[in-house]
Amino acid sequence: MSGSVVKLEEVHKSYRLGQTSVPALRGLSLELRRGEFTALVGASGSGKSTLLNLVGGIDEPDSGRVLVEGTDVATLPDDERSRLRNQKIGFIFQSFNLVPVLDVFENVELPLLINRRIPASERRDRVRAAVEDVGLADFARHLPDQLSGGQRQRVAIARALVADPLLVLADEPTANLDSVTTHRIVDLMLELNARRGVTFFFSTHDEKLMSRVARVVRISDGTVVS
Ligand code: ADP
Ligand code: MG
């Protein structure tokens, strides 16, 4: 259970902005092991989203390597990269990114409808279990706009977990929540990490959350500082 889930080796990434190039990651190296719960802490603009997007295969590094379970994501053909994204990685975003016309159950079901052949009855069982895991069993037929911010983020967590991913990436998942709700969401992620053994990597600029997690990776100007 101590294998390497994610490894970044000397990763550089810049964005082109007109004539200039904005460096986001400058030779960043990092390893996440199976079952770890790691917070990525850094000021706005330090490169947190860029790092999470590279790990999730949403973007590619300019140089260096991003390995997920030992495979260099950039070398995968497109179809295999999207399979990796769909089946091994769950994403949680700051703004929840729920589909407004779908209810809670249907939002959570979405990842299981993409590129999969899962019998409908098994699919329903998995969705029900994920919705129960985040404490929303009584809200399965509610639409997102009938829910609070904390409840919406719970839906996003259930959606990230329904496919039993290896790794969950959460980009500032609590940035739009009040502090009580923030701690509840962190409690829930910690509980799911312990119970399901899923590796969590979540970014925050909230220093108060650092005491809650076993491992904190701090980045500044695109490199790990501690
Ligand atoms: P964080 O998530 O920690 O706020 P980001 O990874 O979003 O940091 O950004 C790192 C740096 O890259 C910042 O200087 C930011 O302005 C720049 N950046 C991020 N995305 C883009 C983009 N699409 N185009 C140009 N610059 C970008
Ligand atoms: Mg960001």
Q: What was the pLDDT predicted at 1?
A: 45
39 occurs within a structural domain = yes
Q: What average pLDDT does range 19-46 have in this prediction?
A: 95
CA distances to 47, 56, 183 from 8, in Å:
14, 12, 29
Number of domains in the chain: 1
Structural domain span for residue 159 = 34-47+77-224
Q: Which residues line ligand 1 (CB under 6 A)?
A: 15, 17, 22, 24, 42, 44-50
Rounded to whole angstroms, the Cα distance separating 158 from 132 reads 9
Give the closest residue (by CA) to ligand 1 atom 12.
24
CATH code, domain with 195: 3.40.50.300
Q: What average pLDDT does range 158-186 have in this prediction?
A: 91
Per residue in 123-140, pLDDT (tens digit) is 999 999 999 999 999 999
142 occurs within a structural domain = yes
Per residue in 154-163, pLDDT (tens digit) is 999 999 999 9
pTM, two decimal places: 0.92
Per residue in 49-102, pLDDT (tens digit) is 999 999 999 899 999 999 999 999 889 999 999 888 888 999 999 889 999 999
210 occurs within a structural domain = yes
Q: What was the pLDDT predicted at 2?
A: 57
Instruction: Please give the number of the atom of ligand 1 that sits closest to the Cα of 44.
Output: 4
192 occurs within a structural domain = yes
174 occurs within a structural domain = yes
